[in-house]
Amino acid sequence: MGELETLFAPTRVAVVGASNEEGSVGWAVTRNLIESFDGEVLPVNPQQSTVLGLACHDDVAEVTPIDVAIISVPVEIAVQEVREAAEAGVENVVVITAGFSEAGADGASRERELVAVAEEYDLNLVGPNSLGVMSTGVGLNATFAPAGAQPGNVSFMSQSGAFVTAVLDWAADRDLGFKDVVSLGNKAVLDERDFVAEWGEDPETAVILGYLEDVVDGRAFMETVRGVTAETPMVVVKSGRTEAGASAAASHTGAMAGSDEAYAAGFRQSGVLRVETVQELFDAASVLAGQPVPETESVAIVTNAGGPGVMTTDAVGDSTLSLSSFADGTIERLADALPGGANVYNPVDIIGDAPVERFETALEIVLADPNVGMAVVVACPTATLSFEDLADAVIDLQAAAEIPLAAALMGGSSTRSPASKLSEAGIPTYFDPARAVSSLETLATYGRVREREYVEPTTYDVDGERARSVLESAVRRGSSRVGVEAMELLAAYGIPTPAGEVVTDPDAAEAVAADIGGEVVMKIVSPDILHKSDIGGVELGVTPEEVADVYEDLHVRARNYQPDATILGVQVQEQLPLEDGVETIVGMNRDPQFGPVVLFGLGGIFVEVMEDTAVRVAPVSEPEARAMIDEISAAPLLRGARGREPVDVDALVEVVQRLSQLVTDVPAIAELDINPVLATPDGATAVDLRLTLDQEEL
Amino acid sequence: MGELETLFAPTRVAVVGASNEEGSVGWAVTRNLIESFDGEVLPVNPQQSTVLGLACHDDVAEVTPIDVAIISVPVEIAVQEVREAAEAGVENVVVITAGFSEAGADGASRERELVAVAEEYDLNLVGPNSLGVMSTGVGLNATFAPAGAQPGNVSFMSQSGAFVTAVLDWAADRDLGFKDVVSLGNKAVLDERDFVAEWGEDPETAVILGYLEDVVDGRAFMETVRGVTAETPMVVVKSGRTEAGASAAASHTGAMAGSDEAYAAGFRQSGVLRVETVQELFDAASVLAGQPVPETESVAIVTNAGGPGVMTTDAVGDSTLSLSSFADGTIERLADALPGGANVYNPVDIIGDAPVERFETALEIVLADPNVGMAVVVACPTATLSFEDLADAVIDLQAAAEIPLAAALMGGSSTRSPASKLSEAGIPTYFDPARAVSSLETLATYGRVREREYVEPTTYDVDGERARSVLESAVRRGSSRVGVEAMELLAAYGIPTPAGEVVTDPDAAEAVAADIGGEVVMKIVSPDILHKSDIGGVELGVTPEEVADVYEDLHVRARNYQPDATILGVQVQEQLPLEDGVETIVGMNRDPQFGPVVLFGLGGIFVEVMEDTAVRVAPVSEPEARAMIDEISAAPLLRGARGREPVDVDALVEVVQRLSQLVTDVPAIAELDINPVLATPDGATAVDLRLTLDQEEL
């Protein structure tokens, strides 16, 4: 168990601000604790001698030792009360009192004081502005929510207290039980990462659920979560996904929004299962809490109704799962056991007059097939079938086969008791077969998370000094925008660049061109001219004889365009065979929560118009870089679609990783686009770049 | 009312095959009718004198006049019984008996006999292999389903009888009522189109629901449905959407699958709202049956909880709806009416201590805002709020404002009675705010269907004779594959083609090239050489002097590649400025259900790799053709992305329509691709084509 063990399994809890005033928060917390807590409840309030029949104390010091202090006092004295509790030796504090950073500038300054106290005494502090915490293991309900939680193996954190109330009320008469529940409040001290770490160590937590509006430190979160999700599934609704939602979230909690792409990448890289709706969150929780992870991702369907069998098959087709192909023996056994007119191929249709025994027989046969990783039982009401008996049979079969099952009992009131029986046994049951299939898909998705091995990002041998000096010379020029003149930065990190140099007179241009040999490309180099091509600042196919003239021409055009432009010179560059390659883009920007985020896509319209990109939080490992290149829709173009020779994908994978290392090493790079990186059958070469510097970080 | 009026509102119904044997189909149908039917039930069975207490008759003739005969007899005598009923003057027959086309070759031949009888007597025949029909208006339950339907304004047809049973059982204790229900069975005579037509005329049907595995005649269906959906919403699950689902459907009903793209296009063009899951089907039915269509697509959110407000905002962001921007007056009124700390912008957060009156006040203010087309009420349980009172208030407000509302009551058992009250008043209510938002989105989607005006496809003045002669000459050559030699076909239909001709000697080639002037393109013309470029069969930029030599070279290369290839000559063509234009593809294939289906996309990888295409069932009207061009992801390229001049989109719109007319007029064209159609700022020109002929249709 982690360092929050005592918070969730205390023996003595003080309620600072306990009250007899019915309906008040101090009253509700005390009442909830008295009703269910296995340990001792110690009301603290100098204005009362008893609260709800318990002796009431003047201050926390009077009742030490205390494992957890719940602070529910007027906001003006809240910080002081926390300090007193800390001085009395309390290590875990839950601040329910509101009026902190969610309430303007005064509140924010009060929150800074609170944090200072917590840091001084090294407190585990939940909140402020929290609904409280629960832990069913010891009957702890230290919240002011009207309903408690049923015991179970799901631990749940929420950045919205109201949502906790809603979920508890909703779960009260369903078969979803909780281990710990925490309302995160303003996350002034403890945040999502602390609870993930705690629950990852908790053998009684089988699934971690979260409702989050932001993540305090994306990279630290990823590191913690990656370790936890290898053993415990974690499902999160991250709201503020859409532009409208993000601005609503900002006005609600003041959460500073990182980009949703960064959240999506960070969550996926660390194994979080992200869902979008409340329904998906709890559907996922139920199945992960109740069913094993499948060994293969193929699904058998057994039904007494053809149409619903087809619908279920469509749902499998829509998912990442596949329909099992039965082994020959399975088909023979089904043919022997089922009446004529039955369909012995998947989806297995045991037809409308099937009694429960026929479901059992068919399921037994398909579950024994090694090609079957999961199964869905789809049943419509008929005169010959008892849903109640079917539920018993399915529960027994699941227990025996240890293969994940889901059920669609397609009826009304007659399904209620059997559905509840199935849920209690951990088998998800819905009217809609598509939801049953989605449940199994969740298991398979988590199965992939659990199986993957974490690969450390490669650390290449690079010339950090040289990279630094390129950036410093840009800064000396007083410019935060850097272009092709900084190609050497890429070379310092081992990213191939064309031969060439920036020169400042025609003779030098001719010399460089002669070194390169053949025709060259010449470009004006100026931090003030962003779109060089548009002003005639780029010449392709320059022959040796033309080099000197072109040098002058480029200067003239730049001057005509902008007389006061700073001109750093002219770049004379090897001319690459653009028509033989595919232009790609490897880019980076820095996210407020997740830091450097790397992007890959094809050049030109593919990124700009088609938005066909792959994104990862850096540092990017080799398999992640490869996955980025595979996942764009245009990937077949790189692999040799339309009769072209495939490009050197390994070289691209390496460029992505080297860029990832560069932007991780150098925080001063705020944004960087290598556009294009020309990918050919023989390699990948950076042709041009644009970079924005954050000079303060250098 | 339509011609099926009597089927759904009979006064005398005969059950042929009525039985006293409990559990038999003949018994169940008779019992269901006796229990609820307002009219007279007349059992027919020569082996019984009474059935379930009613006098039983030897044949239908004995009890005429009869409005509907339900046939539930052994399959061997079913056709004979139908004939007898028809001879006795019965016009409406429901064949419940199974063992027809769903049961092998014998069954199929029996079904053909059944159809012949139906045609001979002009019968309205449902089935065979049907569960039966229901109509709550007259208490008709002529099915063998265990549960009846509650009265309501939704009419429902299903190609799966089991699904009807499931839905009725499920709906029994929910607030979803039905007008008519029909189990389509094998659709030997009456099919989906007949029922759509009937329900379109029925003032008591407010929503048409369908579960379909196929559509018998796609084009006829579209024509009927288009008229109906302008006044009555229609929501369909078409299963067999996915590859796996389609093959499951084929083995279930023998449904011959058209492509899912054709279904999607045909449904959309005729105004069907297609959904994918059972949950979506009934969510859509509920809201369409209970709420008006919105006047604008913008949504106000009123909530007592910040987090759920953000989730709801995300759901709006995910949908096609937008978040209302309130008028200044609205914001002022909210600020006056709500306590400090409330959010008066959308989503309106009236904060956690809100009693029902505050919900009322806030809703009243936002519903009066002309920028608000719809609203979602999102409530979490609190000590100060009664869900029951909130439901009453929302119902009253909705009735007064006549604006669509949906509710998310985020709690458990305390929401049950208020949720049911809201549903009864037609207001969709869910725990998950995303489902509430989806409901409103359904209304808005239907609003767009209802508002659009049907535009007749343009009929261009074309040269049908000339088109026909081009195809006939291809047939005379014995080839079903036609290439660039048939460019004249396009010209005959007014599609611009480059100047040029197919010639058969070098002199003629020179003469044509001289007429064109400047450099030309030359291509070998052979039905045996599909990929001309690959064998060097295309030369670009041929100067006048080179024409004769290139003519010979092309022949040599073709002969080397395939000595016995039929060579029709060499095409000498105007050279178009490919680099100034965008290459597009306009294509067509013929779907078994929907006939000619037209495709538009950009050339090269956009169609082949990115699958970025737009599809419509032909004939395509002007607005449909324009919509096709707008809806592809790469559309910005045509409108002048990345600093290019926009192409002449009107010209492309016309090419799509002219191709649509061609393939509609000429059924012998099985497949046709114009690839590329070069779109430039000045027009659109067909550069090459490939065509497959169905000679039998010519």
Chain A nearest-CA distance from B243, in A, is 7
Nearest to B413 among A166, A172, A279 (CB): A172
In total, chain A counts a number of residues equal to: 698
The residue-averaged pLDDT of B565-587 equals 88
Residue B255 has pLDDT above 50, yes or no: no
A419 touches B: beta carbon within 8 Å: no
A104 touches chain B (CB under 8 A): no
Query: Which of A199, A197, A220, A275 has its CA nearest to residue A446?
Result: A275
Q: Which strands form B132-135's sheet, in the order they lie side by side?
A: B140-143, B132-135, B178-183, B151-158, B207-212, B234-238, B273-275
| Mean pLDDT confidence for A392-418 | 95
Q: Test A279 with B434 for CB contact under 8 angstroms.
A: yes
Confidence at residue A251, expressed as pLDDT on a 0 to 100 scale: 64
Query: Which of A313, A605, A612 is opposite residue B245, by nearest beta carbon?
Result: A313
B428 has a pLDDT exceeding 50: yes
Q: By the CB < 8 Å criterion, does A429 face chain B?
A: no
Closest CB to A633: pick one of B253, B434, B610: B610
How far CA B88 is from CA of B44, B59, B64, B122, B190, in Å, comes to 13, 9, 7, 13, 20
Cis peptide before B646 (omega within 30 of 0): no
DSSP classification of residue A57: B
Q: Between the CA of residue B35 and those of B30, B41, B126, what are the distances in Å?
A: 9, 10, 22
Query: In this structure, how many other beta carbons lie within 10 angstroms of the beta carbon of residue A25?
Result: 22
pLDDT of res. B611:
83
DSSP B347-384: SEE--TT--HHHHHHHHHHHHT-TT-SEEEEEE---TT
Question: Is B104 near chain A, with CB under 8 Å?
Answer: no
Sign of the dihedral defined by the CA atoms of residues A461, A466, A472, A473, in that order? negative
In contact, A211 and A253? CB cutoff 8 Å: no
Quick: pLDDT tens for B8-18.
999 999 999 99
Q: Respond yes or no on whether the N-terminal peptide bond of residue B128 is cis (omega within 30° of 0).
A: yes
User: Which residues of B fall within a CB distance of 8 Å from A277?
Assistant: 311, 315, 432, 434-435
Mean model confidence pLDDT for chain A: 93
Q: Which of chain A's residues have a Cβ under 8 Å away from the Cβ of B239?
A: 307, 310-311, 314
Give the whole-angstrom CA distance, residue B79 versus residue B92. Answer: 14
Residue A626 to residue A636: CA distance in whole angstroms = 14
| Of B641 and A410, more confident | A410
A23 vs chain B: nearest CA distance in angstroms? Answer: 8
Chain B 107-166, residues with CB within 8 Å of chain A CB atoms: 146-147, 158-163, 165-166
Tell me whether A242 touches chain B (CB under 8 Å): yes
Task: Using a pLDDT cut of 90, give the percent of chain B over it.
Answer: 78
What's the sign of the alpha-carbon dihedral A23, A27, A28, A31?
A: negative
Shortest Cα distance from A557 to chain B (angstroms)?
A: 20
Taking the Cβ of residue B80 and every Cβ of chain A, the question of whether any pair is shorter than 8 Å is answered with no
**Bridge-based pairing state of the strands B520-525 and B538-542:** antiparallel
Q: Which band of pLDDT confidence, cut at 50, 70 and 90, is reported for residue B604?
A: confident
Q: What is the 3-state secondary structure (H, E, C) of B522-572?
A: EEEECCCCCCCHHHCCEEEEECHHHHHHHHHHHHHHHHHHCCCCCCCEEEE
ipTM of the complex: 0.91
The torsion region of residue A632 among left (phi > 0), alpha (psi -120 to 50) and beta comes to beta
**Which tens digits make up the pLDDT trace of A319-329?**
999 999 999 99
**Partners of A584 in beta bridges:** A602, A677
Dihedral, CA of residue B584, residue B590, residue B593 and residue B599, to nearest 10: 0
User: Measuring CA to CA, which residue among B495, B497, B489, B494 is closest to residue B462?
Assistant: B494
Kindly give the pairing relationship between strand B481-482 and strand B689-693.
Answer: antiparallel
Please report the pLDDT score of residue A252 as a whole number: 55
Angle formed by the axes of helices B243-253 and A306-318, nearest 10°: 170
With a CB cutoff of 8 Å and minimum separation 6, the contacts of B579 are: none
> B403 exposed, middle or buried (CB, 10 Å; 0-12, 13-18, 19+)?
buried
Partner residue opposite A316 with nearest CB, options B147, B211, B244: B244
Are A484 and A470 within 8 A, CB to CB? no
Q: Does the bond joining A347 to the residue before it have cis omega, within 30 degrees of 0?
A: yes
d(CA B67, CA A402): 56
Report the SS3 class of residue A617. Answer: strand
Nearest to B584 by CA among B658, B676, B692, B671: B676
Asked if B299 and A248 touch (Cβ cutoff 8 Å), the reply is no
Cis, bond preceding A676 (omega within 30 deg of 0): yes
pLDDT at B562 over 80: yes
Nearest residue of A to residue B533 by CA position?
A643
- Dist. CA B419–CA B429, nearest whole Å: 6
Tens of pLDDT, residues A578-614: 777 899 999 999 998 999 999 999 987 777 777 889 9
Q: Which amino acid is at B513?
A: A
Instruction: Please report the pLDDT score of residue A255 as a whole number.
Output: 45
Place of tokens 């560059």: A573
CB of B312 closer than 8 Å to CB of A244: no
Q: Which residue in chain B has the smallest CA separation from A185?
A: B307
B434/A165 touch (CB, cutoff 8 Å), yes or no = no
To the nearest whole Å, the CA of A638 is away from the closest chain B CA by 11
3-class secondary structure, B14: strand
d(CA A9, CA A449): 30
- Contact between chains at B307 and A252 (C-beta distance less than 8 A): yes
Alpha carbon of B665: minimum distance to chain A alpha carbons (Å):
34
Give A32 or A530, the one with higher predicted confidence. A32
Contacts of B313 in chain A (CB under 8 A): 242, 244-245, 248
What is the per-residue DSSP string for B194-205?
Answer: HHHHHHHH-TT-
- Interval A86-118: pLDDT, tens: 999 999 999 999 999 988 899 999 999 999 999
Range list of H helices, A202-339 = 218-229, 243-253, 260-270, 278-290, 306-318, 328-337
- Residue pair A611/A623 in contact (Cβ under 8 Å)? The answer is no
Of A538, A548, A543, nearest to A509 (Cα)? A548
Residue B103 main-chain phi, psi, to 5 deg? -125, 55
pLDDT digits (tens, 9 = 90+) for A142-173: 999 888 899 999 999 999 999 999 999 988 87
Beta bridge partners of B530: none
Largest separation between any pair of C-alpha atoms in chain A: 101
**Using the beta-carbon criterion (under 8 Å), do A314 and B641 form an inter-chain contact?**
no
Pairwise CB contact (< 8 Å): A431 & B170: yes
Q: What percent of chain B has pLDDT over 70?
A: 98
Cβ–Cβ < 8 Å for B308, B410: yes
Per-residue pLDDT of B465-500, as tens digits, reads 999 999 988 888 777 888 877 889 999 999 999 998
- On chain B, the residues whose CB falls within 8 A of the CB of A166 are 305, 308, 380-381, 410-411, 431
Confidence of residue B642 (pLDDT cuts 50, 70, 90): low
Contacts of B148 in chain A (CB under 8 A): none
Q: Give the pLDDT band of residue B111 (cuts 50, 70, 90).
A: very high
Residues of A in contact with B147 (CB under 8 A): 381, 412
Interchain CB contacts (distance < 8 Å): A and B: 277
What local confidence, expressed as pLDDT, does residue A642 receive?
67
CA-based nearest residue in chain B for residue A212: B307
* Pairwise CA distance, residues A226 & A232, whole Å: 10
Is residue B597 within 8 Å of B262, Cβ to Cβ? yes
pLDDT in tens, B62-108: 999 999 999 999 999 999 999 999 999 999 999 999 999 988 899 99
CB atoms within 10 A of CB B440: 26
Torsions phi, psi for B634 (to 5 deg): -85, 5
Residues of A in Cβ contact (< 8 Å) with B241: 314, 317-318
- For residue A440, pLDDT over 60 is answered with yes
pLDDT in tens, A458-484: 999 999 999 999 998 888 877 788 887
Question: What residues of chain B lie within 8 A of the CB of A146, using their CB?
Answer: 381, 383
Examine the pLDDT at A696 and tell me if it is beyond 90: no
Residue entry with tokens 């896509």: A601
Q: What is the mean pLDDT of residues A201-215?
A: 96
pLDDT of the residue at A258:
62
Average pLDDT for residues B306-310, to the nearest whole number? Answer: 94
Q: What would the two tokens of residue B644 be?
A: 């290019």
Predicted confidence at residue B407, as pLDDT, reads 97
At A486, list the tokens. 């900084």
